[in-house]
Structure 1
């Protein structure tokens, strides 16, 4: 059994005081937009949010009717309590898990979500194999922080528990070597609302324009220089 004790220690009380609520609310809006872009209008009977945090993504999935039934597993007890408090109508199962063992039967969900989870996971392929066991398809999203400024990314994201750093190539390789077939992979800049939340109205707008236009004009150079996000829709072999 893989030891998830250090991750549990970081996140057990992470959502208890609500300090991260505003950032996660904006980030969840961003992530659900990415999911919709990848799914291209497709909806599912049952979706499982793996590493559901405090439920911001679940709440938006419910409001946008992307699934008839939602389920969630989360490593943090404070996250579980925050999800319960939302009283999400389509959420039919909510469980604590250790990061590597999901308490559901094989292929019991049509789509699994792992949104900004894998960068925290010590044993990435064990995690992804378990997610693929339970879900017919997976949407996985990670930050692309392995740029020329990797040293800064390590310093900045260390307190949040990031231990894995990706390029598009290393992310795709991780998925393929975990036994997943990549159906669609997209690179996303941060949304304007997210940039402005972090940097303020004016500076955030400038960062948004630079990041977005750089990606359009010179994608390879942009991804070597600036952090983006990648989302991938996968199926298991």
Structure 2
């Protein structure tokens, strides 16, 4: 995120976001990378990058580095050489990341400062935070051949009826609220071609153990409904996200 595109970037640099999420959700990183793996396997990578000896990867808004570190490990299990970079505005998150992942290139930069081109760009739980996500994603697309998104589907009936918009903005920093259809339309409007997407059950991530008792009560009905219809669960009860692999339209 950058000051140009984000609302209240100080939220991520002055400790306010860390107050609500002191772990920076790094306990969810392995789960998120497993969801990526369900969309992007060795065959698909070889098809997308047939001549690449080393894949250059950037995690835009890398937080505590867990997703980038675990994604790099995942690619190595597919016999891919990886050159990994993470950029993040929060010095606190980067301090954690550098301790946990000393071998990664981690930089306190905004996207506009990045001059290199990358094969894969990770934007995992990022676009919902930025003030102008259209321009932000277009800037990312100009620097990356392939983009991987994880987008919370917060625009549910429950969010509407319980008036949770302010709560999500204050505690999570979410200022944009998506359904599956809105998320796919948004990426299309940014000039991207969606290669694949799937629902993920965000209510099942490890950090969900730390949330309020009211949210824990929703876990069972969400689990039941999601097993029958992920789409219905996302629209009615929320707790779902969308993992998307996309590239610039040719």
Hey, what's the Cα distance between the residues in 2 that align with 1:220 and 1:63? 31
3-state SS in 2 of match to 1:183: strand
User: How far apart are the structure 1 equivalents of 2:188 and 2:245?
Assistant: 12
Q: Please tell me whether residue 130 in structure 1 is matched to residue 139 in structure 2.
A: yes
Listed as ranges, the matches of 1:1-237 within 5 Å are 3-4=4-5, 6-14=7-15, 20-22=21-23, 24-41=25-42, 45-66=55-76, 68-89=82-103, 91=104, 93-98=105-110, 100-105=111-116, 108-151=117-160, 152-159=163-170, 160-190=172-202, 191=204, 193-198=206-211, 204=216, 207-227=218-238, 228-237=240-249
Q: Using a 3 Å threshold, how does the CA distance of structure 1 residues 5 and 60 change in structure 2: closer, same or farther?
A: closer
Q: How does the TM-score come out when normalised to structure 2?
A: 0.79
Offset of residue 64 of structure 1: 3.2
- Work out whether residues 56 and 120 of structure 2, in 8 Å CA contact, stay in contact via their aligned partners in 1: yes
Counterpart CA distance in 1 for 2:210 and 2:3 is: 36
Q: 1:22 to 1:6 in 2, by over 3 A?
A: closer
* Deviation digits for residues 126-182 of structure 1 (CA, Å, limit 9, x no counterpart): 110111111100001111010112343313211122110000000000000000000
> Over aligned residues, Cα RMSD in angstroms?
2.8
Q: What whole-Å deviation, never above 9, does each CA across 1:65-120 have from its counterpart, x for those lacking one?
A: 4561111111222223322223432x2x333233x514123xx2111001111001
Q: Which whole-Å CA distance do the structure 2 matches of 1:223 and 1:147 have between them?
A: 6
Distance 1:14 1:60, change over 3 A: farther
Q: What TM-score do the two structures reach when normalised by structure 1? A: 0.83
Equivalenced residues, count: 229
How many Å separate the matches in 1 of 2:18 and 2:179?
A: 33
Change (3 A) 1:116 1:84: same
Any idea what the Cα deviations from partners look like across 1:169-214, whole Å, max 9, x if unmatched? 00000000000000001111133634334357xx85x744432331
2:20 and 2:176 map into 1 onto residues whose CA distance is 24
Unaligned runs of 5+ in 1: none
The offset of 1:19, in angstroms, is 7.0
Q: 1:25 to 1:148 in 2, by over 3 A?
A: same
Consecutive unaligned residues of structure 2, counting only runs of 5 or more, are 46-53
